Amino acid sequence: MELLIKNGRIVDWSQDFYGDVYINDGVICEIGKNLNKNCKIIDAKGSTVLPSFIDLHVHFRDPGLTYKEDIESGSLAAAKGGYTMVNLMANTNPVCSNMDTVDYVLEKAKKIGVVDVHQVVSITNNFDGKDISHLDKLKPYVRVISEDGKDVMDSKVMIAAMVKAKESGRIVMCHCEEHSLTGIDTRMSENVMTWRNLALAQFTECKVHMSHVSTKESMEYIIEAKKKGVKVTCEVAPHHIALTDNDYRVNPPIRGKEDVEFLIKAIQDGWADAISTDHAPHSVEDKKNGSPGISGIETAFALCYTKLVKEGHITLNKLSEIMSKNTARIMGVEKGQIKIGYDGDLAIVDIDKEYEISHEAFVSKGKNTPFSGMKVYGDVIKTIKGGKVVFSKN
Ligand code: NCD
Ligand code: ZN
């Protein structure tokens, strides 16, 4: 299948020019000006063409919690947000602790065919906090293990898991939370566990990725560890940049102004590798009963564009770097750049028109957002995966 996108503002981490992109057989084949092909053409005049986004941290709730989200609704929500690849967390029902569950998810996602799906496996079997024997039975296409939403409290178990991850070339994604401290102070709870997980990563030389870093101190520990050569990458979630001092229930909580300023500085200085949404859809009922989380995959680009680029903190090149290039690098895929030979995965966006976020327009089953009614810039018009349009506004 061929596709020619013409007359767009072509932007990725390293380039920004007006021109065309030609995709053939799923791959970017030509980039330039005045390209002419006898194939389907999308006129992107007045729009910006970016590599589509890759989300390292997403909850699609399938299997078992599909009243909140399923692979189909999640995939469509991702595509609407400009994403074509997602990394699904393991806190499903059953918990994703074996290849049967991984393969169920991957096969279903493939059949739906809207976005590329990677499935994370839990660090301990069924989140029991102790047993890691299932890690020996994983196939190579499982690239990440994580106890998201939980973390592993027993340091000895975490060390053993990191050793196994290192041996098999996997990344450990850390949701840093010391549960015995959460009820006392969520900030201390995050900071203590960030520090511990970094110390264990330094000891084991395992690759770790810190999920949804929200405090200044946590980011400071990560920067310090990076300077020492610890193999750590990290992500920041859009809501931890776009909000301050807000009690909308999410884990980790929304922090203060000083934290947000520090996280933005860490992005500017290249310490924060990635933006991930922590897309956590819930039903109205569950949200009322206190479930933490934000349905965030449909609003991520607009929030980041508005808060980071429009407000002058970073360039659009930099935003593309942290939403696409670096996330692709962390997952080890040839995506996230507009480059010959790379996958033809693109997002066409209108960055000039202001619009209002409405939870009613979400295609995710989760309408839980603190951003409804907020005015933003950065509207995704079309999402293209492998040269195929997987989302179109009109
Ligand atoms: C997550 C969820 O809903 O799965 N919620 C959240 O607020 N991030 C789980 C979690 O990380 O606590
Ligand atoms: Zn988490």
DSSP state letters, 56-95: EEE---TTT-TTT--HHHHHHHHHHTTEEEEEE-S-SSS-
C-beta 239 within 6 A of ligand 1: no
Q: Please name which of 288, 352, 343 lies closest in space to residue 48, comparing C-alpha atoms.
A: 352
279: annotated binding-site residue? no
Q: Is 352 a catalytic residue?
A: no
Phi and psi at residue 105, to the nearest 5°: -65, -50
CB 381 within 8 A of CB 392: yes
* Percent share of the chain, pLDDT over 70: 100
Phi and psi at residue 160, to the nearest 5°: -60, -40
- Domains and their CATH numbers in the chain: 2-49+344-392 (2.30.40.10), 52-331 (3.20.20.140)
The H-or-E segment that residue 376 falls in is strand 375-385
C-beta 148 within 6 A of ligand 1: yes
Cβ neighbours of 386 (radius 10 Å): 18
Model confidence at 27, pLDDT cuts 50, 70, 90, reads very high
196: annotated binding-site residue? no
| pLDDT for res 394 | 79
Is residue 47 over pLDDT 90?
yes
Model confidence at 330, pLDDT cuts 50, 70, 90, reads very high
Q: Which ligand is nearest to the CA of 174?
A: 2
Is residue 138 over pLDDT 90?
yes
The alpha carbon of 91 and the centre of ligand 2 are apart by a number of angstroms equal to 10
Q: In this predicted model, what pLDDT tens digit does every residue of 243-289 receive, in sequence order?
A: 999 999 999 999 999 999 999 999 999 999 999 999 999 999 999 99
Q: Which of 278, 283, 286, 368 has most ligand 1 atoms within 8 Å of its beta carbon, as the pocket-test mutant?
A: 278
Mean pLDDT over 118-126 rounds to 98
CA atoms 110, 237, 271, 316: torsion sign: positive
Is residue 1 over pLDDT 90?
no
In angstroms, the CA 309 to CA 317 distance is 9
61: annotated binding-site residue? yes
Amino acid (one-letter) located at 16: D
In angstroms, the CA 68 to CA 284 distance is 9
Structure tokens at 221: 């520990």
pTM above threshold 0.85: yes
Q: Which ligand is nearest to the CA of 235?
A: 2
Q: Counting atoms of ligand 1 from 1, which one is nearest the CA of 251?
A: 7
Q: Counting atoms of ligand 1 from 1, which one is nearest the CA of 282?
A: 3
Q: Which residues surround ligand 2, an ion (CB under 5 A)?
A: 148, 175
Is residue 149 over pLDDT 90?
no
The alpha carbon of 211 and the centre of ligand 2 are apart by a number of angstroms equal to 7
* Percent share of the chain, pLDDT over 90: 99
C-beta 147 within 6 A of ligand 1: no
In angstroms, the CA 52 to CA 387 distance is 12
278: annotated binding-site residue? yes
CB 115 within 8 A of CB 83: yes
| DSSP summary character for residue 254 | P
Cβ neighbours of 197 (radius 10 Å): 27
C-beta 149 within 6 A of ligand 1: yes
Strand partners, 347: 50, 383
The H-or-E segment that residue 258 falls in is helix 257-268
Q: Counting atoms of ligand 1 from 1, which one is nearest the CA of 250?
A: 7
Q: Which ligand is nearest to the CA of 210?
A: 2
Amino acid (one-letter) located at 224: E
Amino acid (one-letter) located at 54: I
| pLDDT for res 147 | 98
Is residue 144 over pLDDT 90?
yes
CB 97 within 8 A of CB 131: no
The alpha carbon of 232 and the centre of ligand 1 are apart by a number of angstroms equal to 22
Is residue 56 over pLDDT 90?
yes
Q: In this predicted model, what pLDDT tens digit does every residue of 165-175 receive, in sequence order?
A: 999 999 999 99
| pLDDT for res 302 | 98
The alpha carbon of 280 and the centre of ligand 1 are apart by a number of angstroms equal to 6
Q: In this predicted model, what pLDDT tens digit does every residue of 204-234 receive, in sequence order?
A: 999 999 999 999 999 999 999 999 999 999 9
CA atoms 154, 159, 165, 167: torsion sign: negative
CB 5 within 8 A of CB 49: yes
148: annotated binding-site residue? yes
Q: Please name which of 168, 144, 99 lies closest in space to residue 330, comparing C-alpha atoms.
A: 144
Q: In this predicted model, what pLDDT tens digit does every residue of 62-87 receive, in sequence order?
A: 999 999 999 999 999 999 999 999 99
C-beta 182 within 6 A of ligand 1: no
Task: Write the residue with the smallest CA distance to atom 10 of ligand 1.
Answer: 149
CB 148 within 8 A of CB 211: yes
